[in-house]
Amino acid sequence: MTTPMHQQRLAHAFVELAGSAVTDPSALLATLASFGPRLLDSCAATVLYISDERTGPQLTGTDEELVRLEREATEWGEGPGRDACRTGRPVQSSALGDARAQHDWPRYAPRALDLGYRRVAALPLSDGAQANETPGALILLFAADAPLPADVLALAQSLTDATGFALARNRELRESQALADQLGQALTSRVVIEQAKGVLAASLSLSMDEAFAVLRGHARSHQRRLPDLAREVVAGRLSPEIFNPSGDRARQLRQG
């Protein structure tokens, strides 16, 4: 585990996670799962991630049969991944044939054994979204009976933690982009409203405040969004005259 080649692969792994922070979260989870066979000497790995209870768990892995098993395990409410999520603590290397594993995971453990695995470990995955909550886990499956070395588990947790940081960064980027989009839309709406005010003021001989009062009153009485109405005025799809059909603009404004 400590050869120069392995150290280089580890360095590349952390760089890979850092670079994946700007991609879809599912790509981050798939990258983490791939580290199981590549770096952690596991036969297979799955990642369980529940970012929103309403949409259900995200699951990815290096073995489709294991992904199906983990999906069923979330429905059963059992398994090492669920335990790591529930407690926020690692599930140390556990022999699937032991009495405790059979007791704690009565459906999961026999199924995993049938798939050819003998030992499992699960590392909690936290994305920092909510304190004291662990929305995910990296589950590592091994065909050998020998317990995992402590340094392998420590490395697995480090990679899982790095993935959590990348997920948090991804979320921050998406939230920042959403805020920027909202601010951009608000600015665009404000600009088009000012333009519509200018059109009405020039066409109906109103002050800018009077033009805004007319525009807003029309939007309210016709249950229209003010920016949408303003866009139609600016685009020429609505004649300014429909905002004051009687011709007595000053009296209407005073009464409004």
Q: List, in order of start, the domains of the chain with CATH numbers.
A: 4-175 (3.30.450.40), 183-255 (1.10.10)
Cβ atoms of 52 and 80 closer than 8 Å: no
Distance CA(96)–CA(57), nearest Å, equals 24
Q: Encoding tokens for residue 78? A: 């059992």
Distance CA(115)–CA(180), nearest Å, equals 48
Distance CA(60)–CA(33), nearest Å, equals 7
Q: 133: left (phi > 0), else alpha (psi -120 to 50), else beta? A: beta
Burial class of residue 176 in the structure, from the number of CB atoms within 10 Å of its CB (0-12 exposed, 13-18 middle, 19+ buried): exposed
Distance CA(101)–CA(1), nearest Å, equals 28
pLDDT tens, residue order, the chain (256 aa):
555 555 666 666 766 776 665 567 888 888 889 888 877 877 899 999 987 667 778 899 999 999 999 999 999 999 999 999 998 899 988 899 999 999 999 999 999 999 999 999 999 998 766 556 688 999 999 998 888 888 888 888 888 888 888 888 777 777 777 777 778 787 888 888 888 888 888 888 888 888 888 888 888 888 888 888 888 888 888 877 777 655 444 444 444 4
pLDDT of residue 96: 94
pLDDT of residue 250: 42
pLDDT of residue 255: 47
pLDDT of residue 244: 67
In this prediction the pTM is 0.66
Question: What dihedral angle (degrees, nearest 10) is formed by the CA atoms of 218, 219, 224, 230?
Answer: 100
pLDDT of residue 128: 66
pLDDT of residue 72: 94
Distance CA(61)–CA(67), nearest Å, equals 6
pLDDT of residue 142: 92
